[in-house]
Amino acid sequence: MARIKIAALISGGGRTVLNIAEEINAGRLDAEMAIVIASRQCKGVDRCREAGMEVRPVNYKEMPDTLTYSNAIAAILDEAGVDLVIQAGFLSLWRIPRNYAGRVMNIHPALLPGFGGKGMYGHHVHQAVLERGCKVSGCTVHFVDNEYDSGPIIVQKCVPVYDTDTPDDLAGRVFEQECKAYPEAIAMFAGGKLTIDGQIVRIAK
């Protein structure tokens, strides 16, 4: 089987993409980072370029509407011939074309379906987890549909939450697990092990 081509969508620091690229370069993930698309100028643009990746900016705020924005992204994905799209700290809404259904993943810094939805990202998620008094948190890799954080779940990993935690403390612990969960989910996709059955992802042995 040929190695899969990945496109990454970013809006922030790009750490998640760099982690996946490191897994690829180390030979632990049979994939190719074909293109990185940035929704705005951010640290991730420079970091990914410095790591040798092609980065294409598609500025959300410069587009007249969501459909135009979504079409611009889809055109780049088609041109690059990607097999899988990974959202990695991507904060802009884009409408996923039918031909990419089941081929777009996201990672969320909490255990979905809790602490998801519009406005729940980054620091906001960890603050909400602490304010609710949760004893565990974690991360979720899921397929993306056209609703916030509602697609079928692929991988989840847990971390403890301590009474002394700040949002940054919890974020650091969760990110360590994100660096394991996302490559794991991508590897299962690349190996043809994932089947979507309604809202459930079946994983072949």
**How does 82-104 read in b/e, with b if 16+ C-beta sit within 10 Å?**
bbbbbbbbbebebebeeebebbb
Q: Tell me the per-residue pLDDT of 56-108, one tens digit each, with 9 for 90 and over.
A: 999 999 999 999 999 999 999 999 999 999 999 999 889 999 999 999 999 99
Euclidean distance between CA atoms 85 and 20, whole angstroms? 13
Give whole-number Cα distances, 205 to 63, 85, 156, 188, 194, in Å.
44, 23, 17, 10, 10
pLDDT at 2 over 80: no
Q: Tell me the per-residue pLDDT of 119-174, one tens digit each, with 9 for 90 and over.
A: 899 999 999 999 999 999 999 999 999 888 999 999 999 999 999 999 999 999 99
Euclidean distance between CA atoms 150 and 166, whole angstroms? 27
* Residue reference for tokens 């043809």: 192
Task: Give me the domains of the chain, ranges plus CATH numbers.
Answer: 1-100 (3.40.50.170), 106-205 (3.40.50.170)
What are the catalytic residues? 108
Alpha helices in the chain (DSSP H): 15-25, 43-50, 66-80, 123-131, 167-190
**Beta-strand pair 55-57/200-203:** unpaired
Asked whether the bond before 152 is cis by omega within 30 degrees of 0, the reply is no
H/E stretch holding 108 reads: strand 104-108
In this prediction, residue 162 carries a pLDDT of 98
Query: Token pair for residue 80?
Result: 């690059």
Query: Token pair for residue 51?
Result: 């790591």
Contact between 32 and 82 under an 8 Å Cβ cutoff? The reply is no
The whole-model pTM stands at 0.95
Euclidean distance between CA atoms 193 and 102, whole angstroms? 13
Model confidence at 1, in pLDDT bands (50, 70, 90)?
low
Q: Tell me the per-residue pLDDT of 15-63, one tens digit each, with 9 for 90 and over.
A: 999 999 999 999 999 999 999 999 999 999 999 999 999 999 999 999 9
